[in-house]
Each structure stands twice: as C-alpha cells, then as structure tokens.
Structure 1
Amino acid sequence: MLDDADRRILRQYQAAPDLPAADLAERAGVTPSTLTRRLDRMRGAGVLRGLRGRVNWRALGYEVEVSLRLTLDKTQARAFDEFLAAARQVPEVIEIQTFLGVVDARLSVIARDIPHYQQVYRQRILTLPHIADIEALMHVALLKSDEALPL
C-alpha cells in the first residue's frame, strides 16, 4: 500500500507535522504537488488521521498521573458499557483502554497534586459503576512516549 516515497513523506511528517509543505516536500525528496497529492491520498485511506494539538498538562499545573487497572463486576449485561460511559465523563481521566483478561480497563488519571488526586479518586472514580477491583499505579517517570512509527 505504501511505497518508498510515501514512507519518506510519513517519516518527515511525523518528525515535523507543522512544517510548510514546500519544506516538508524538500525533506522527503518530492515536489510540493506530489507531497500534497500523496498526503491527501493517505488521509482518504485513513493512514493519516489529521493534526492535533498536544497540550502539556504538566505545564498547566497537573503534577500527578496515576494508572488505574480496573476489574469490573460483569454480572450485569450492560456493566461494561455503563462503566465506560461514566468514566468518559470524568474530566481528569485522560485515557481509557480496555483489555481482554483479568484486567478489564485502564484509566490514566491526572491531578494537580496528591490531595487533588485523593478527591478525584474518592468522589469520581470510586463512584463509577460496576467496579469489582482497582489497582493504582503511581507514575514516577515517563521514559518513552512516541507515537511515531518506524517507517
């Protein structure tokens, strides 16, 4: 599906998505019109999902991140859907993942400090429906965070 030119374009695009098209084309070794045509084609095929602003939540005063691994009480047919709908409504939950296995879901929760986290945990997390078990993992250091693919 992707040829060498597409991979060169994607490598450069991942490295600097905010570059002007002419500069990106030069780095990728293609003409600006080729770059535009190929990016449009990759967007249409769903390879590129668009640009997005990444906010550094630490710069906004959020110093605590906790991963919560949750096991749900699935004795009710809609337990999973009801839990996910409620978890989406918690502003401090910045990521939700679901799994097959012992752990059903993982929530990434941010807070300004430990007292704020305790408040969020007690008032918003523990009130989520259908929770059978929670394991909290306090983030200490982020060693790698890279969405770029090895193209």
Structure 2
Amino acid sequence: MQVDDTDRRILRQVQADPEAPASELAERAGVTPATFARRLERMREGGVVKAIREQVDWRALGYEVEVSLRVTLDKTEPRAFDEFIIAARAVPEVISIGTFLGRVDARLLVIARDMSDYQRIYREYILSLPHMTDIEALMQVATIKDAQSVPL
C-alpha cells in the first residue's frame, strides 16, 4: 500500500499519542477529522496500521528481572524449531520469542519477579524446552531505547 505525506503526518500523530482524541490528532496532522478517520481506516485495511492497543508495564506488576536467552537448537531434528516454539509459548514468563538465521536460532525474553523466581523458571521450564543444544543468558541491566514507533 502506498502512503503519502498526509498519511505519514497522521501516522506520526497516532504513534506519538495514541490515546489522544481523533479530532485532536487530526488537527495536529493538519487534516479534518473526516479525512483523518477515512485515511486511518484505509491504512488499517491496507495493513499499515495493525492495532492501537494498551501496553502493560510488567515492572509495575512486580516483575523486576528481564533475561534474554539465546538458544541454539539441534538442526539435525526436522521438527526442532516447531516443537521448541510450541513449548516456549506455553511458558507464561516468556514474553517474546524470535527466531534467527545464524549461530543463534532463537531468542526468548523472560521476565521474573526476582532472581530466585528466575532461577525457578529456568530450572522448571526453560531447561525442559526440547531440542536445545546451547543456551546463553544475558541479563538486562537497563533499557536505553525501546521505540515502538517507526521514523516517518
């Protein structure tokens, strides 16, 4: 789908303040509310805008530890990726799963309330995930940038 400068202005406003009233976002984008609504709907239908949703701050819920796990899988097993992903999705504390080409096959982002909770999750759930041949844990110390928006 093609987006023009007007669409980009609308997207910048939606990304900057998704909770603002549509009329306010339209004004900031320099379009009428009707134009704003019509173009935003067209971009939703075209797949440019997937959803505007609430984001839960898991730290505010008491999760203080974030660990990124780099996983290498047994590539001799034809169903290794599929079975690993199915099992990893079942772990509630795994909040993100990504797969890669290269030395590392998957990355899991795991949250825990504290280090003893992480140790429990690691021993009970992570170590039992199928087809892992290597795992490396990287503990998150600080988030420097976490942009959910794209440059427009």
> Normalising by the residue count of structure 1, what TM-score does the alignment of the two structures yield?
0.99
Aligned alpha-carbon RMSD (Å):
0.5
Partner amino acid for 2:122? Y
CA offset at residue 128 of structure 1?
0.3
Give the Cα–Cα distance (whole angstroms) in 1 for the partners of residues 150 and 52 of structure 2: 16
Partner of 1:37: 38
Give the Cα–Cα distance (whole angstroms) in 2 for the partners of residues 36 and 22 of structure 1: 9
Aligned-residue identity in percent: 67
Give the Cα–Cα distance (whole angstroms) in 2 for the partners of residues 4 and 76 of structure 1: 49
Partner of 2:9: 8
SS of the equivalent of 2:83 reads helix
> Normalising by the residue count of structure 2, what TM-score does the alignment of the two structures yield?
0.98
Q: Give the total of aligned pairs.
A: 151
Partner amino acid for 1:65? E
Partner of 2:133: 132
Partner amino acid for 2:83? E
Deviation per CA, 1:30-77: give whole Å up to 9, x if none: 000000000000000000001111100000000000000000012211
CA offset at residue 81 of structure 1?
0.3
Superposed counterparts of 1:2-151, under 5 Å? 2-151=3-152
Partner amino acid for 2:89? R
CA offset at residue 123 of structure 1?
0.3
Give the Cα–Cα distance (whole angstroms) in 1 for the partners of residues 23 and 52 of structure 2: 18
Give the Cα–Cα distance (whole angstroms) in 2 for the partners of residues 64 and 17 of structure 1: 28
Segments ≥4 residues shifted beyond 6 Å: none
Mark the runs of 5 or more structure 2 residues left unpaired by the alignment. none
